[in-house]
Chain A
Amino acid sequence: VQASHEAHFRSLLETAPDAMVVVEASGRIVFVNRQTEVLFGYTRDELLGRAIEILIPERYRSAHPAYRDRYVGDPRPRGMGSGLELYGLRKDRSEFPIEISLSPVQTATSLLVSSAIRDLTDRRRVEERLRQSEAQLRLLIENVRDHELILLDQAGLVASWNAGVLRMKGYAEQEIVGRHFACFYPPEEREGDALAAKLELAARGSPVEEEGWRLRKNGSRFWASVTISSVRAGNDTLIGFAMLTRDLTEHMKAEQLLRGFLEAAPDAVIIADQQGKIAAVNAQTEKLFGYGRAELLGQTIEALIPQRYRDKHPVHRAAYAGNPKARSMGSGLELHGLRRDGSEFPVEISLSPLETAEGTLVSSAVRDISARKSIEIALQSTNRELEAFSYSVAHDLRAPLRAMSGFARLLCDNYLDRLDAEGKDWLDEIQLNARKMADLIDGLLSLARVSRGELRVEPVDLAQLARASIAALAEREPQRQVSFVAPDSAPAELDARLARTLVDNLIGNAWKYSGKTEHARIEFGSRTEAGARVYYVKDDGAGFDPRFMDKLFAPFQRLHSLPDFPGTGIGLATVQRIVHRHGGRIWAEGAVGLGATFSFTLGSGSVR
């Protein structure tokens, strides 16, 4: 029985997870298990019969027998040296942290002490790591600049803080620990059990997130975002609360600045997310569309678009999201906005992507162009009136002229024998002036015609037109001796019909004003000046007085007397209109008796 008992006991010790060492009251080892061999590096035989101190670091050895004796005097199961760090000594002299439980084993003959020795190396390593990470966390918390972390106990009293408190609220450690967190709240927020309710909510497991005014130690306020969440121990019991406070003053300033920009914008600015949900609008948007801000936020942007465009809009939105860059919306299309009252108005929209932490938003600047549209419409109707006027000038003003001229002619033809020389001269005057007025009317009409109609810009060789123009003039006045200089070609891009009028007028002008010059010279050419193509017509004729330059291009203004150089004063005005219609510029250089040079450009779109 005794033997089987002992065998049973041994097998129990062998299977124990800890190293088991059994000693006599004298400290002599009488049993070790397999774990002991593994842990200490000795074989069983090397340990049996030796004093237990062989397994203890030398610095503890001398004190150990006294502990042993004390235990034998009061043998009961307990941990050894509670609160102390204990170490074991391996055969190779290395040490390792251990935990030891002692229990007395009373045999028939003597008292034995069984020690269960557990290697703490792994646990210590974990504990060390924990300690390090705690230190790091602490460091982190201390150094968080714009956040303040306060730990409250269950009652809401400040238990711990980080340096943020000092910075943000101006408290020193001893001033704040132990105070109720109500001191951070302005009076109106402390009313009733508002604060207790916050803690209760957090205690139930849902963090309280809020923005509001908080107080500094000196009583001043700052706008803060605050999160209060519960802190629980491992067994889930509530220890207290963590209160994370962020000073939003700077943030607010930036946001106010941004909002200031937004509100100051002359256009309605609408910011929407990728799904078209409106995230922000400015005051102009409210004014323009007739909605209150609150009504718009969260709505889709399609609410502001007339019904007939709504279905297609999400597709356009998706297309923009695929290639978001600042540009105007639907260029060339007529866009309309829809007011709250269902009325529509013409708009112009610029889009730009807005990169934010929540993803790419799209900012739309919407401009009401009703005023511009109505001006355009007024302009169109004015133009129509002008056309009607031109038409009526053609018909109605010419008719009486024709009658005057016609009857004067008839008088001349049929009653000449009853008129003396002076009477005949007066009749000639009537006809001459009627013809002049007819020319003026024609000039006015041709000027009006130049301003009307669509521009069909195409490649045109101006040198060729100039040669044709000179040829026509030479045919009409074969007695003139004019040398004409022009390059083989002078390519330009402009309306072909207007190009002919332009060149005919300029060449005709040069031809006319060089009419009193013997062996006159007319030059047509082009050159590049500051990146732009400049065309010019130069003559060595009568020139002009540069003091009256501003009258040169004005309709019906003439710088020469009619008998010298007849004309209606419409040619250069026509030329200027043609140049302006092509986005170009025209100017003249010259002096009386030294000829004139007319130069022009055709605008960026017309330059080769």
Chain B
Amino acid sequence: MNAHILLVEDNPSDEKLTLLAFRTCGVPNELTVLRDGQEALDYLLGPSPAARRPALMLLDLKLPRVDGFEVLRRVRAEAWLRTLPIVILSASVEAEDIEQSYFLGANAYIRKPVDFMDFKRAVHALSEFWLHWNERAAAGVKP
């Protein structure tokens, strides 16, 4: 079974495009979509967390209820999730947003390109890097 990918994205169009980009790139991994930060926190830290830890989390910053920064903060506060690769997928190129993301423990930051070809290239590169070339730490277990 392939490691699965967590996508935290509130915009349905973006969600669809991201899924299409992954599909057209031929990434076989399962993709779980969560619609806001709270859903992401519930998924990872909730009372009955999903059994499997994702191999990669794609996180938008601007999210309803709990935003991406808060998700980063809370996730990185958990020792067993510190090694989870998190890639920020945001429309923002504000220096503060980028800096803050890395400061809170993001592993990479990708600006969502307007051009779908560009986006496809980005998705291809990041899945190849994070899911194939990158050596992952052993999955921690929730205590």
Interface residues of A (CB under 8 A from B): 391, 394-395, 398-403, 405-410, 413, 431, 434-435, 438, 445
Contact = CB atoms under 8 A, between A and B. Distances in A.
Interface string B65-105: 00000000000000000000000001111100000000000
Nearest to A497: B95
Nearest to A408: B116
B53 interface: no
Nearest to B62: A395
Contacts of A406: 13, 17, 20, 116, 119
A468 B54 CA distance: 45
Given A391-B94, A394-B92, A394-B94, A402 B20 contact: no
16 contacts: A391-B94, A394-B91, A394-B94, A395-B90, A398-B91, A398-B114, A402-B13, A402-B112, A402-B113, A402-B114, A402-B116, A402-B119, A403-B17, A407-B116, A410-B20, A445-B93
Given A402-B114, A406-B119, A438-B114, A395 B92 contact: yes
Majority secondary structure, A binding face: helix
B92 A402 contact: no
A398 B91 CA distance: 7
Contact of B13 (A403, A413, A434): A403
A221 B94 CA distance: 80
Interface string B4-24: 000000010110010010001
A398 B20 contact: no
A435 B20 contact: no
B117 A409 contact: yes
B116 A435 contact: no
Given A395-B90, A403-B13, A409-B115, 7 more contacts: A391-B92, A394-B93, A398-B114, A402-B17, A402-B116, A403-B11, A406-B116
Contacts of A431: 115
A406 to B, nearest CB: 4
B91 A405 contact: no
A405 B20 contact: no
A394 B91 CA distance: 6
B115 A435 contact: yes
A402 B94 contact: no
B17 A395 contact: no
Contacts of A399: 11, 13-14, 91, 112
A223 B62 CA distance: 80
A57 to B, nearest CB: 118
A52 to B, nearest CB: 126
Contacts of B117: 409
Contact of B112 (A398, A409, A434): A398
Contact of B116 (A391, A395, A410, A445): A410
Nearest to A398: B91
Contacts of B14: 399, 402-403
Nearest to B60: A395
Contacts of A398: 91, 112, 114
